[in-house]
Amino acid sequence: MNQEQLLSLLEKNSRYDTKDLADVLNETEEHILEAMSEMERQKIICGYHTVINWDKTNTDKVMALIEIGATPEREYGYDRIARNIYRYPEVDSMYLMSGTSEFMVIIYGKTMQEISEFVAMKLACVEYVKSTATFFVLKQYKADGEILEEAEVKEERLIVTP
Amino acid sequence: MMYDTLLSRKVKEIKPSGIRKFFDLASQMEGVISLGVGEPDFHTPWLICESAIYSIENGQTHYTANQGLFELRKQICAYMERRFHLTYDPQKNVIVTVGGSEAIDISLRSIVDPGDEVILLQPGYVAYTPCVELAGATPKFIELTEENQFKLTPELLEAAISDKTKAILINFPSNPTGGVMTKEDYAKIVPIIKKHQLIVISDEIYAELSYSEEHCSLANFDEIKDQVIIISGFSKAFAMTGWRLGFTLANETFTSAMNKIHQYIIMSAPTAAQYGAIEALRHGEKEVQKMKESYEQRRNFVVNGCNRIGLKTHLPQGAFYIFPSIQNTGMTSEQFCEELLKEQKVACVPGTAFGEAGEGFIRISYAYSIEHLKEAIARIDIFLKNRKF
Q: Nearest-CA neighbor of B83 among B239, B184, B209?
A: B209
Angle between helices B285-308 and A3-12 (to 10 degrees): 90
Q: What is the domain-level CATH number for residue A125?
A: 3.30.70.920
Give me the number of domains chain B comprises. 2
- Best of B174, B370, B371 to disrupt the A interface by mutation (most A CBs within 10 Å)? B370
Are residues B110 and B206 both part of a single domain?
Answer: yes
Residue range B321-342: mean pLDDT, rounded? 96
**Closest CB to A160 among B36, B125, B298:** B36
Per DSSP, the three-state class of B97 is strand
Are residues B170 and B221 both part of a single domain?
Answer: yes
**CB-CB contact of B273 with B243 (8 Å):** yes
Residues of B in contact with A5 (CB under 8 A): 293, 297
- Best of B24, B28, B33, B37 to disrupt the A interface by mutation (most A CBs within 10 Å)? B37
Residue A11 included in any domain: yes
**CB-CB contact of A25 with B300 (8 Å):** yes
A133: number of Cβ within 10 Å: 12
Are residues B10 and B58 both part of a single domain?
Answer: no
Count of CA atoms in the C-beta half-sphere (13 A) of A76: 12
A11 interfacial to chain B (CB closer than 8 Å): no
Asked if residue A152 has pLDDT above 90, the reply is no
Owning domain of residue B110: 46-283
Are residues A70 and A100 both part of a single domain?
Answer: yes
DSSP summary character for residue A71: P
- Report the alpha-carbon distance of residue A20 to residue B253 in Å, rounded: 52
Are residues A64 and A23 both part of a single domain?
Answer: no
Are residues B167 and B226 both part of a single domain?
Answer: yes
**CB-CB contact of B358 with B315 (8 Å):** no
Residue A149 included in any domain: no
Give me the number of domains chain A comprises. 2
- The whole-chain average pLDDT of chain B stands at 96
Per DSSP, the three-state class of B87 is coil
A2 interfacial to chain B (CB closer than 8 Å): no
Q: In what order do the strands lie in the sheet with B362-365?
A: B321-322, B362-365, B349-350
Are residues B220 and B297 both part of a single domain?
Answer: no
Are residues A32 and A66 both part of a single domain?
Answer: no
Are residues A74 and A135 both part of a single domain?
Answer: yes
Are residues A79 and A128 both part of a single domain?
Answer: yes
Give me the count of residues in chain B: 389
- pLDDT tier, A149 (very low <50, low <70, confident <90, very high otherwise): confident
Q: What is the pLDDT of residues A4-47, one digit of tens each?
A: 999 999 999 999 999 999 999 999 999 999 999 999 999 999 99
Per DSSP, the three-state class of B343 is helix
Q: What is the pLDDT of residues B13-65, one digit of tens each?
A: 998 888 888 888 888 999 999 999 999 999 999 999 999 999 999 999 999 99
B37: number of Cβ within 10 Å: 21
The predicted structure's pLDDT at residue B370: 96
Percent of chain B beyond pLDDT 90?
95
Stated as kind and residue range, the H or E segment containing A84 is helix A79-86
The predicted structure's pLDDT at residue B22: 83
Percent of chain A beyond pLDDT 90?
86
Are residues A99 and A73 both part of a single domain?
Answer: yes
How many Å lie between the alpha carbon of B33 and the closest alpha carbon of chain A?
A: 8
Count of CA atoms in the C-beta half-sphere (13 A) of B384: 18
Are residues B230 and B331 both part of a single domain?
Answer: no
- The whole-chain average pLDDT of chain A stands at 94
Are residues B57 and B202 both part of a single domain?
Answer: yes
Are residues B137 and B218 both part of a single domain?
Answer: yes
Are residues A84 and A136 both part of a single domain?
Answer: yes
Residue A19 included in any domain: yes
Are residues A89 and A123 both part of a single domain?
Answer: yes
The predicted structure's pLDDT at residue B300: 97
Q: In what order do the strands lie in the sheet with B165-170?
A: B94-97, B246-249, B228-233, B199-203, B165-170, B117-122, B138-143
Owning domain of residue A98: 54-142
Residue A109 included in any domain: yes
Residue range B114-137: mean pLDDT, rounded? 97
Residue A35 included in any domain: yes
- pLDDT tier, A156 (very low <50, low <70, confident <90, very high otherwise): confident
- pLDDT tier, A153 (very low <50, low <70, confident <90, very high otherwise): confident
Q: What is the domain-level CATH number for residue B22?
A: 3.90.1150.10
Are residues B80 and B150 both part of a single domain?
Answer: yes
**CB-CB contact of B133 with B13 (8 Å):** yes
Percent of chain B beyond pLDDT 70?
100
Question: Cα B211 to the chain's mean position, in Å?
Answer: 16
Are residues B24 and B123 both part of a single domain?
Answer: no
Last residue of one domain, picked from the residues B283, B315, B341: B283
Residue A147 included in any domain: no
**CB-CB contact of A134 with A62 (8 Å):** no
Are residues B126 and B223 both part of a single domain?
Answer: yes
Are residues A25 and A102 both part of a single domain?
Answer: no
- pLDDT tier, B167 (very low <50, low <70, confident <90, very high otherwise): very high
Residue A158 included in any domain: no
Residues of B in contact with A22 (CB under 8 A): 304
- Report the alpha-carbon distance of residue B97 to residue B248 in Å, rounded: 7
Asked if residue B82 has pLDDT above 80, the reply is yes
The predicted structure's pLDDT at residue B327: 94
> What type of residue sits at position B136?
G
Quick check: A25 and B297 CB within 8 A?
A: yes
Are residues B305 and B266 both part of a single domain?
Answer: no
| Sequence-distant (≥ 6) Cβ neighbours of residue A43 within 8 angstroms | none
Are residues A70 and A28 both part of a single domain?
Answer: no
The predicted structure's pLDDT at residue B254: 98
A126 interfacial to chain B (CB closer than 8 Å): no
**CB-CB contact of A111 with A87 (8 Å):** no
Are residues A98 and A119 both part of a single domain?
Answer: yes
How many Å lie between the alpha carbon of B250 and the closest alpha carbon of chain A?
A: 26
**Buried b / exposed e along A6-42 (16+ C-beta atoms within 10 A):** beebbeeeeebebebbbbbbbbeeeebeebbeebeee
Here the ipTM equals: 0.86
